[in-house]
Chain A
Amino acid sequence: MKARIAHIASNTFREAVRDRVLYNLIAFAVLLSGAAILVGQISIEIEKLVVINLGLTAVSLFGIVIAIFIGIGLVSKEIEKRTLYTVLSRPVRRWEFIVGKFCGLAGTLVVNTFFMAIGVFAALFYVSHKFVRADALVLVALYFIVLEFLIICSLALLFSSFSSPLLSAVFAFSLFVIGSFAEDLRGFAGMAHGFTRWLVTGAAYLVPNFSALNVISSIAHEQPVAAQLIWHNTLYALFYATMALSGAVLIFEHRNLK
Chain B
Amino acid sequence: MKQRRKVSLVAGACVVVSLAASAVTLHRIDQLRPQATIEEVLYLNSPKVLKRASLGYDGLLADIYWTRAVQYFGGRHHNHALSYNLLYPLLEITTQLDPRLIVAYQFGASFLAPPPPGGAGQPERAIQLMEYGIQNNPDNWKLYYDLGFVYYMNLKDYKQAAAAFERGSKVPNAHPFLRLLAAQMAEHAGEFDTARMMWSATYQNTQDKLIRQNAVEHLRALRVEEDVTHLQQAVTRFGERTGRLPASIAELAAAESLPGIPVDPDGHSYKLSPEGRIEVRVPDDFPFATKGLPPGFKPHPQFDSQPQ
Choice from B8, B22, B70 contacting A254 with Cβ under 8 Å? B8
Evaluate whether A243 and B14 lie within 8 angstroms (CB atoms) in the complex, with A184-B37, A229-B29, A229-B32 already known: yes
What is the CA–CA distance of A62 and B23 in the complex, to the nearest angstrom? 28
**A233 proximity list for chain B (CB < 8 A):** 29
Whether a CB of chain B sits under 8 angstroms from the CB of A164 is no
How near does chain A come to B70, taking the closest CB pair, in angstroms? 7
Choice from B3, B15, B28, B33 contacting A247 with Cβ under 8 Å? B15
Whether a CB of chain A sits under 8 angstroms from the CB of B30 is yes
Name the CB-closest residue of B to A95: B7
Whether a CB of chain A sits under 8 angstroms from the CB of B44 is yes
Evaluate whether A236 and B7 lie within 8 angstroms (CB atoms) in the complex, with A184-B64, A243-B18, A246-B14 already known: no
**B11 proximity list for chain A (CB < 8 A):** 95, 246-247, 249-250, 253
**A211 proximity list for chain B (CB < 8 A):** 36-37
Choice from B23, B33, B67, B70 contacting A205 with Cβ under 8 Å? B23
Whether a CB of chain A sits under 8 angstroms from the CB of B81 is no
Chain B residues 23 to 42 lying within 8 A of chain A, measured CB to CB, are 23, 25-26, 28-30, 32-33, 36-37, 40
What is the CA–CA distance of A183 and B74 in the complex, to the nearest angstrom? 15
What is the CA–CA distance of A96 and B8 in the complex, to the nearest angstrom? 13
Choice from A181, A246, A247, A250 contacting B64 with Cβ under 8 Å? A181
What is the CA–CA distance of A93 and B40 in the complex, to the nearest angstrom? 45
Per-residue A-contact encoding for B9-22, CB less than 8 Å = 1, 0 else: 00110110011011
How near does chain A come to B96, taking the closest CB pair, in angstroms? 20
Whether a CB of chain B sits under 8 angstroms from the CB of A218 is yes
Whether a CB of chain B sits under 8 angstroms from the CB of A226 is yes
**B43 proximity list for chain A (CB < 8 A):** 217-218, 220-221
What is the CA–CA distance of A206 and B20 in the complex, to the nearest angstrom? 10
Whether a CB of chain A sits under 8 angstroms from the CB of B4 is yes
How near does chain A come to B102, taking the closest CB pair, in angstroms? 20
What is the CA–CA distance of A84 and B4 in the complex, to the nearest angstrom? 18
- State the interface size on chain B (CB cutoff 8 A): 32
Per-residue A-contact encoding for B33-64, CB less than 8 Å = 1, 0 else: 10011001001100000000000000000001
Whether a CB of chain A sits under 8 angstroms from the CB of B71 is yes
Stretch at the interface among A65-73, A100-108, A187-195: A187-195
Choice from A184, A186, A250 contacting B30 with Cβ under 8 Å? A186
What is the CA–CA distance of A52 and B39 in the complex, to the nearest angstrom? 19
How near does chain A come to B170, taking the closest CB pair, in angstroms? 38
How near does chain A come to B35, taking the closest CB pair, in angstroms? 10
**B71 proximity list for chain A (CB < 8 A):** 184, 187, 190-191
Evaluate whether A188 and B25 lie within 8 angstroms (CB atoms) in the complex, with A211-B37, A228-B32, A254-B8 already known: no
Whether a CB of chain A sits under 8 angstroms from the CB of B68 is yes
Choice from B7, B32, B40 contacting A217 with Cβ under 8 Å? B40
Contact A94 B15 (CB under 8 A): no
**B14 proximity list for chain A (CB < 8 A):** 242-243, 246, 249
Whether a CB of chain B sits under 8 angstroms from the CB of A232 is yes
How near does chain A come to B140, taking the closest CB pair, in angstroms? 26
What is the CA–CA distance of A183 and B30 in the complex, to the nearest angstrom? 9
Contact A232 B29 (CB under 8 A): yes
Contact A235 B37 (CB under 8 A): no
Choice from A218, A236, A250 contacting B8 with Cβ under 8 Å? A250
What is the CA–CA distance of A94 and B33 in the complex, to the nearest angstrom? 40
Contact A232 B25 (CB under 8 A): yes
Contact A209 B29 (CB under 8 A): yes
Contact B8 A209 (CB under 8 A): no
Per-residue A-contact encoding for B260-293, CB less than 8 Å = 1, 0 else: 0000000000000000000000000000000000
Contact A94 B29 (CB under 8 A): no
How near does chain B come to A229, taking the closest CB pair, in angstroms? 5
Evaluate whether A217 and B44 lie within 8 angstroms (CB atoms) in the complex, with A228-B32, A239-B21 already known: yes
Per-residue B-contact encoding for A201-231, CB less than 8 Å = 1, 0 else: 0000110010110000110110000101100
Contact B68 A94 (CB under 8 A): no
Contact B33 A229 (CB under 8 A): yes
Evaluate whether A239 and B25 lie within 8 angstroms (CB atoms) in the complex, with A183-B37, A184-B67, A247-B15 already known: yes
How near does chain A come to B6, taking the closest CB pair, in angstroms? 10
What is the CA–CA distance of A249 and B37 in the complex, to the nearest angstrom? 34
Whether a CB of chain B sits under 8 angstroms from the CB of A240 is yes
Contact A253 B7 (CB under 8 A): yes
Contact A187 B67 (CB under 8 A): yes
What would 27 A/B residue contacts be, using CB atoms closer than 8 Å? Answer: A93-B3, A93-B7, A181-B64, A183-B36, A184-B37, A187-B71, A188-B67, A191-B70, A205-B23, A205-B26, A212-B26, A217-B43, A217-B44, A220-B43, A232-B28, A232-B32, A235-B21, A239-B18, A239-B21, A242-B18, A247-B15, A249-B7, A249-B11, A249-B14, A250-B8, A250-B12, A254-B4
Q: Other CB < 8 Å A-B pairs besides A184-B68, A212-B36, A217-B40, 15 of them?
A: A93-B3, A190-B71, A209-B29, A211-B36, A217-B43, A218-B43, A228-B32, A232-B25, A233-B29, A239-B19, A239-B21, A242-B18, A249-B7, A249-B11, A249-B14
